[in-house]
Each structure stands twice: as C-alpha cells, then as structure tokens.
Structure 1
C-alpha cells in the first residue's frame, strides 16, 4: 500500500494508468474482514484519489461503489477514512453524472456521523460535505445542509478539513449564494474562532481568503461584525 501511495504522489494524474494494476488489490483490502486492513486501504485510496486528481475519473463508478459501502462500515476509522475518500472523489472526478447521482446516498450515509462522539468522524464528514458542495453546489440541498454544517463548526481536531470548509464558504459568497448570505450571522462567530489562535487552524492561503471575505462583509453589512473585534481589526 505504501508503494501505491508513493507512486500516486510521484505520478499525479498519470497514476490513473497505474491504478489499473494496483486498484484491484486496494479494493480487495477495502473489503477485508480485518478492520485495520479496511481502514488502511480506504485511507490509501483517498490519498491516491487526491494525488491522481482527474485521473480517477475512469474509475469513479468502481470507487464510488466501494466507498459508499465503507461509509456504513462497523469500524469508526474505516467510516471516517471513507468520508474523506468519497469527498475527494466527488471533487476530483470529472464523471459528473456518476458523482451527483450518488449525492443523496452519500448525504444519507453521512447523517449518522453527526450523532457519533468522535471529532475525527465529524471533521471528515464536514470536509466531505464541503467538497461535495464545492464540486456541485446545485446537487446539495443547501437550505438543509448548511445549517447542519454550521452547527458542527468550528472543527475541534482535524484542522486539515478546515481548508475545504472555508474555501467552500468563500465560494458560496463569491457566487452570491442566497442561503449563505442568509446565514451570515451564524457564520461570523465561526469565522472569528478560526481566525483566532491557534494559527494552525488554517493554511495561509485559506486564512487570506477568509480575511478577504471578512473585508467584503464589513463593506456590505458591517453590523454583523459587531462584537468581534478581531474581525473588525482585520477588515480595516
């Protein structure tokens, strides 16, 4: 599995050709009777998708089938890795129809994640949903999903998933999404929290994008920033 991961990092989109050889083996381990083999293989699959990007497109149906099954795995770590993997598949694959037709099933399988007292599972579910929205916002019932997502933020543990979450939020505002605009008062305290210490909550790029959003909100509806001195100082 380490070899497959190393090759995917080295080859990027070209790894799609190698997937024909290693994918079958990884899929086999993803259905293993051993939880550690399932969780490890699903984690490797996720990173392979991440690195080969659109190179995963020809294998979308195959990957979707396996990962959907693992979203209901009895093992928490496997379920968590599957959420990360399927979010990556949604945003990297160019097989739009195959991806979006499974959105309802994915969201349904992610719902139980929200009832589990595991920060990592919650964080990966939030990241998955955010990637789904970034990829195909019109295929997500934002009026239902965004309030649920906001109720889980800010993340407590897996700060890596902050990147898709806040890039998604910035994207919605840039696209003048009315659901997002209607929830600005809910988002402001969340934004204030992630723009506060610890610094590692955000990458420099995501931080800069959020600051630009804060500056935009200050210009358009400055009243929503009242009481959040750190945001007001960033906006000026």
Structure 2
C-alpha cells in the first residue's frame, strides 16, 4: 500500500507520510534479523516496501540515505534470497533518486556489490546487482571505475529472470555509449549479443524498454557495421531475426 501512496501523492506530500511510518519497517527488519527463518519473509517484505518508496519520494529520498543505506548494505549479506534481492534493488533505487547525496557512498556501495556478486547464486539477486550497478552508472558514471567494473558488469549479462531490470541495464549502457566510453568498445560484441537476445526473446516488460534496446542496437549497427555483421553471422537464428528488424 505504501508505495501506491507514493504514486498518488506529490513527492513532498509522500515524504511527510513516509517520514512517519518508515521507523516501523526498520523495527521489523531489526527484530527479525536474529530470529529463526520463519520471520525471513517479514524482513523481505519490509525491505521490499522501503525499496519501492524511493520512486515516489524522488529527490526527497536524499533525506533518508544516511539512515537507510547502512541497513540495506547489511541486508545484502542476509541468509534469505528475497531479503538480499530486495536490499540490492533498494540500494540502486536509493542512488537513482537520492542523486548527489549518494555520491560520497559510491565506493562503499561498489565494494558491497563486488563482494556479494562473487558468491551470489540466486538468479534474481544477480539480476538486481546488475540493475543496481546500472543505476549507479546512469546517475554518475564518472564515479564508477569503468576499466575494472564494466567487464564484470557485462559478464553477468544477459539477465536470468528479472527482465524488468533490462530497462536500467540498457539505459546505463546507452549513457556510457553516448559518452564515448573507451572501455565499452572492446565489449560491444558481447553487449550486442545480449541486446539482440533481449529483443529476440522479448525479455522486456514494456514498449519503452523494447524501444530503448532497439535504438541502442540500431546505433551500434550505424557506428560499427563490421562489428554488427560479425555478431549477426555468428548465430543463424539471430541472423534470421535481424532480417526482420527495421534497422535502416
């Protein structure tokens, strides 16, 4: 219910309401951390609700970054898959909507995501790690060490099950492509394969995401026709699909 209020009210109005109720959810998270596994769903729910509220709070998210970020970071190490999944998603949303006040936390957040991705087995959480990193890149790519981060980011694509995160992923790739980031160029072949898979398998949740991925593919075809042709030739099924795309 709470995130729905965020969509119905102005950010300023929702911030007043959120300010009254968020301690209840923190209490729920802290109370269930050291209990048995039957309480894990309550913790996952609480983290999930808070994560969904940043979109409604928009720039007012900045008021809660200092208080909520440490809690979300600690939940990234949780024993429960859904808690970790929701916490990672929440960190990305916090950065996306908190903007400037999140900048000083980039090193901590990147270290947190780096530590968890190496051992994470849950498909949804891996997808949300990609989504969170994408939000960091879109919000301020200059604070992300692309030389080290980008190859790992691309390595974990395509997404496994949470295809809603493809919007964030391709928005970030589009941002750094338009910036002419030198570290993306060697990875373009892999990125193109992923993008074509998203289109071919319809791994997008709305027309906006589909159009974003399609225009990204179209731009690469225009700028790097040889690379594009090489990728298409490598897979007969994809080659047949590409023939159906209005790329010109």
TM-score by structure 2 length? 0.86
2: CA distance between counterparts of 1:29 and 1:131? 27
1:119 aligns with 2:131: no
The 3 A distance-change label for structure 1 pair 182 and 200 is: closer
1:48 aligns with 2:60: no
1:135 aligns with 2:122: no
Tell me what 1:27 maps to: 26
Q: Secondary structure at the match of 2:133?
A: helix
Q: Secondary structure at the match of 2:157?
A: coil
Q: Is the 8 A contact 1:49 1:92 kept in 2?
A: yes
Tell me what 2:7 maps to: 9
TM-score by structure 1 length? 0.90
Tell me what 1:192 maps to: 196
**1:36 paired residue among 35, 41, 49:** 41
Tell me what 2:98 maps to: 93
1: CA distance between counterparts of 2:43 and 2:95? 21
Deviations 1:55-74 (A, max 9, x none): 21112211212212212222
- Let me know the Cα RMSD of the aligned residues: 1.7
2: CA distance between counterparts of 1:154 and 1:65? 29
- What does 1:121-200 align with in structure 2 at a 5 Å threshold? 121-197=125-201, 199-200=202-203
2: CA distance between counterparts of 1:12 and 1:134? 24
Q: Is the 8 A contact 1:214 1:231 kept in 2?
A: no
Q: Secondary structure at the match of 1:74?
A: coil
Deviations 1:117-138 (A, max 9, x none): 2110101111011001111111
Tell me what 2:214 maps to: 211
Tell me what 2:35 maps to: none
1: CA distance between counterparts of 2:130 and 2:31? 27
Where do 5+ consecutive residues of structure 2 fail to align? 33-38, 233-238
Q: Is the 8 A contact 2:196 2:217 kept in 1?
A: no
2: CA distance between counterparts of 1:163 and 1:91? 13
How many residue pairs end up in the alignment?
Answer: 231
